[in-house]
Chains A and B, each alone.
Chain A
Amino acid sequence: MTATTTAPLAAPETRTPVRRPSARLRAWATRAPLLPALIFMIVVTQLPFVATLVISFFDWNSLYPDARHFTGLDNYHEVLTDADLRQSVWTTVLLTVAVVLASLVLGLLLALLLDRRFRGRGIVRTLLIAPFLVVPVAAALLWKHVLYNPEYGLFNGLLHYVGGPQPDWISNTPLLAVEASLVWQWTPFMMLILLAGLQSRDHQQIEAARVDGASDWQIFVHLTLPHLRRYLELGALLGSIYIVQNFDAVFTITSGGLGTANLPYTVYQSFYQAHENGLASAAGVLVVIGSIVIATFALRVVSSLFREEMSGA
């Protein structure tokens, strides 16, 4: 670096090309590093969706490939009028809303606790992140066999000590059982996002409010919550995107039985077990439409955070 500082002016002159490359060429040179990733994404993620859309207009059972024919919107009609499928839409909504809300509230509580200084804060943070770092299938197996098992699961084992009942958790409250395991895994995620939000607060402003005699509760309601609003939205939306798509927990804990089949599980089942390609595709397109609604809001939130950071930088 020291040697180069001696000739700062000479260098660009010698590098000035005799024939200036056209602006178009330069634009392509700038674009070139982007293209492999962009083309890869378009081919691998966009084309299959187009194919799904096309297949959704066909009556196509893969066991009877010769009987394949165009049916227009029949699959959609069938999907929207099928009681099981409508049930699975409802299940997906219930599952997503319950898990997102519960893990947001718990995550907020934990983030507020972790935002304070106390002995061993780093260790507690690590303990809290751990559930998020268990492979989802393994976590689901853990809840199904090791915690929920009515005979030798930990929950009933602990209840045994206090002389409590010995419920069959999964059979009695199947959806709640799936939700609890997901809340356990997703609370750390919410906590991390909200903790980042808390730590980006303007501490001078809070000090000023405190000097002016504001109580902790007033500071929380009037300063902290408004600041956290977008982090709460971001957590809720990203959480929704991931949990709407959840397959692992439903597949592992209840195998979609007892009214816990959500849309991803139903799509999986209708083509993997029932071989109904057309129906599966129509259900898939409906999942996409549902996701686009969430995604539109999510993108808006992300882009507002993004712009704020760009202007702050």
Chain B
Amino acid sequence: MSTTALRVSRVRGRGAGLGLLAWLLGIAFFLPIAWMALTSFHSEQDAATNPPSFAAALTLDGYREFFGAGGGASPWPALINSTVASVASTLLVLLLAFPAAYALSINRVRKWTDVLFFFLSTKMLPAVAALLPIYLFAKNAGMLDNIWLLVILYTSMNLPIAVWMMQSFLAEIPVAVIEAARVDGARLPTILARIVAPISLPGIAATALICFIFSWNELLFARVLTGVVAETAPVFLTGFITSQGLFLAKVCAASLVISLPVLAAGFAAQDKLVQGLSLGAVK
């Protein structure tokens, strides 16, 4: 065997080793989720054994319990509240962010970078510092335990992200194309519908999914500002913080069901996830 062939095979062997390492780490990171899924299908007795019972019989009891079969509180109102808060705030975000992004990318206002950075800076101030005045305002305005208050707050939480993301998507549209259409006599609605929308639609979809995730996950505001009526899914989950006898399968079922929309949205937006999370700084 020549020395180059030897070197190639050694490099290949190391490559396979690193590939294997990547697989092992990937599985290690996923293991808690896999174990949570498996536990959710075990009976409460099998879920709480030491050593763990990997091969115990599967059952849907954990899910039945979670959905209130055992007389516990039904999670449906919380799931519906979370859906309303996340979907409504995401729609409101898109409605406000799209025109703003247009004015920051295609038909730019003066000092548009300053405006962009103003939006970004609001994201860097900790929400907890605004909690008290918002609570006091809500209390005086009779808005406590009202899901629409969360819709407004979640909109303000996600608007900077959406403006940044959409701005970067719209900026990718070649100015020449828009200019050409304008010269050809196309008016703004036509330009928006025929040129801007088709090109930026995947980006808008990714933006929407990321806003949805952040709203769905939010706990602090929901915990402080809602009670029995407007309780969201994460607040419902806080009911499991203190142990209640044998309840592992139920906790796992609850955690998994409530995480499913986020997992689905996250995998759907996988390619744009970094861009959204880094506020458009990384593509």
Q: Do A and B come from one complex?
A: yes
List residues of A whose CB falls within 8 A of some B CB. 1, 4-5, 7-8, 11-12, 15, 27, 30-34, 36-38, 40-41, 44-49, 51-52, 55, 109-110, 113-114, 116, 118-121, 123-139, 141-147, 151-152, 154, 156-158, 160-161, 166, 184, 187-189, 192-193, 195-197, 200, 231, 234, 238, 241, 244-245, 247-248, 251-252, 255, 263-264, 267-268, 271-272, 277, 280-281, 284-285, 287-288, 291-292, 294-295, 298-299, 301-303, 305-306, 309, 313
Interface secondary structure of B, over-half rule: helix
Contact A52 B234, CB 8 Å, known A146-B32, A299-B120: no
Looking at the complex, which of B2-10, B66-74, B200-208, B236-244 is the stretch in contact with chain A?
Answer: B236-244
Q: A11 touching B183 by the CB < 8 A rule?
A: yes
Interface secondary structure of A, over-half rule: helix
Decide if B224 is an interface residue (CB 8 Å cutoff).
yes
List of B residues within 8 angstroms of A131 by Cβ: 29-30, 32-33
Contact with A along B116-130 (1 / 0, CB 8 A): 011111111111111
Bound Cα distance A26, B22 (Å):
56
Contact A309 B283, CB 8 Å, known A116-B18, A129-B266, A142-B255: yes
Q: B277 touching A189 by the CB < 8 A rule?
A: yes
List of A residues within 8 angstroms of B81 by Cβ: none
Q: Within B85-131, which residues are at the interface with A (CB < 8 Å)? A: 96-97, 99-100, 102-104, 107-110, 113, 115, 117-131
User: A245's closest neighbor in chain B, by CB?
Assistant: B126
User: B21's closest neighbor in chain A, by CB?
Assistant: A113
* Given pairs A109-B25, A247-B220, A252-B241, 7 additional interface contacts (CB within 8 A): A27-B110, A34-B100, A138-B258, A245-B128, A268-B131, A298-B124, A306-B113
List of B residues within 8 angstroms of A298 by Cβ: 124
Q: A5 touching B107 by the CB < 8 A rule?
A: no
List residues of B whose CB falls within 8 A of some A CB. 15-16, 18-19, 21-23, 25-27, 29-30, 32-33, 35-36, 39, 47-52, 96-97, 99-100, 102-104, 107-110, 113, 115, 117-137, 152-153, 155-156, 159-160, 163, 171, 183-186, 213, 216-217, 219-220, 223-224, 233-234, 237-238, 240-241, 243, 248, 251-252, 254-256, 258-259, 262-263, 266-267, 270, 273-274, 277-283
Contact A119 B19, CB 8 Å, known A145-B248, A280-B132, A291-B125: yes
Q: Which of B100, B102, B118, B124 has the most CB atoms of chain A within a 10 A radius of its CB?
A: B124
List of A residues within 8 angstroms of B132 by Cβ: 51-52, 55, 267, 271, 277, 280-281, 284
User: A270's closest neighbor in chain B, by CB?
Assistant: B132
Q: B219 touching A192 by the CB < 8 A rule?
A: no
Bound Cα distance A131, B262 (Å):
11
Q: B18 touching A118 by the CB < 8 A rule?
A: yes
CB proximity of A134 to chain B, nearest CB, Å: 5
